[in-house]
Amino acid sequence: MKYLKEFENHAEYEAFTATTEFIKPNVSHCVNENDVHYNPWTPPMNVITYTATAKLTETTSTGSTNGLHVNSFNGSSGQLTKTSHTFDNGIGEIEFNGDITSIGTNAFRGCIGLTSIVIPNSVTFIGASAFQNCTSLTSIEIPSGVTSIGNSAFASCRSLTSIVIPNSVTFIGVSAFNSCSGLTSITIPSNVTSISDYAFYNCSGLTSVVIPNSVTSIGGYAFQNCTSLTSIEIPSGVTSIANYTFASCRSLTSIDIPSGVTSIGTYAFDSCKNLTSIVIPNSVTSIDKYTFYGCTSLTSITSNAITAPTIGSSTFRDVKTGGTLYVPIGSSGYDTWMGTGDYYLGKYNWTKIEQ
């Protein structure tokens, strides 16, 4: 079917028929672009049109809230992409037949009734926003041949409780699992070298994350609002902690910063309310503003640098009163940390001890 005009509801269809003479309701094939294929279901009417860059033999699938729930796509060497849609929650399950090699941008975005999907082993690429806002999706199996998970691919799949990422994956895009609030644990495969910005942002149910030593970069906001995350091990190859990386991870009680880190970004640990202690390696030369803002349980900081890292305004704002700063014997520059201005540690009656 080359031409398809879609309506959100019956009222839109009736309005269209009142203003044009080209309507031919219920025809199977459209003759020209002014013709319409109309599916007269009880509102809401759900239509999803899929096309492929190669040889999909079925390019149109229809489903309704009270109608079709299983959709099958047949083809070979094609990319499945969604070109147009008006749907609510009629698509419940999807299965593929044939050698589809990639799932394109927005392919199933917003299929809020989709509960499960089996991706064929022929797929090597999952595009941006492919399953974004599939809020009822509870499980998904990523084939072992997939090498890339696109930006926002599974964003807001809040019913997703677990997912296994195969070792073939080398790239996880920006916001790939953003707001997957039902996700409780995840293991990142050993071929991934970087975790993109917002990758696990707002995964409020996430309690544990295994990050392989292959990772050398963790993006900004990557774990912000992971409010159930109790611990995390940062790989030794990471050289900087970006802005907001662990902000509002309020279940974190302690964290080890690897010895290769040279800078800690703004708001990196903001509002980590249960963080009680932290050790800063001697490699760190700068700590940005608001880094530990709102860490209201923080009572112990150990900094191993002989020369104190530079700090910004409000770096330690609202830490717990009466804590202790441990620094090396003969170190310098920590008097700035102990000052009372800009919400430094002296404002909260901290004590400095050389050891």
Query: What letter represents residue 300's amino acid?
Result: S
CATH of domain 42-229: 3.80.10.10
pLDDT of residue 53: 31
251-301 pLDDT, tens per residue?
999 888 999 999 999 999 999 999 999 999 999 999 999 999 999 999 999
pLDDT of residue 10: 56
202 to each of 84, 215, 231, 341, how far by Cα in Å?
A: 29, 21, 16, 33
284-297 as b/e: b if 16+ CB within 10 A: beebbbbbbbbbbe
Query: What letter represents residue 185's amino acid?
Result: S
Please state the domain extents for the chain: 1-40, 42-229
pLDDT of residue 26: 38
pLDDT of residue 98: 57
pLDDT of residue 333: 97
**Dist CA 74 CA 182 (whole Å):** 32
**Dist CA 252 CA 198 (whole Å):** 18
6-27 pLDDT, tens per residue?
545 556 656 655 654 443 343 3
pLDDT of residue 189: 93
pLDDT of residue 114: 80
**Dist CA 152 CA 164 (whole Å):** 17
Render each residue's pLDDT in the chain as its tens digit; 355 residues.
333 445 455 566 566 556 544 433 433 333 443 434 344 333 333 333 333 332 222 333 333 222 222 333 433 334 444 433 333 344 556 666 556 788 888 888 888 878 877 788 888 889 899 899 999 898 888 989 999 999 999 999 999 988 889 999 999 999 999 999 999 999 999 999 999 999 999 999 999 899 999 999 999 999 999 999 998 889 999 999 999 999 999 999 988 899 999 999 999 999 999 999 999 999 999 999 999 999 999 999 999 999 999 999 999 999 999 999 999 999 999 999 999 989 999 999 999 999 9
pLDDT of residue 147: 92
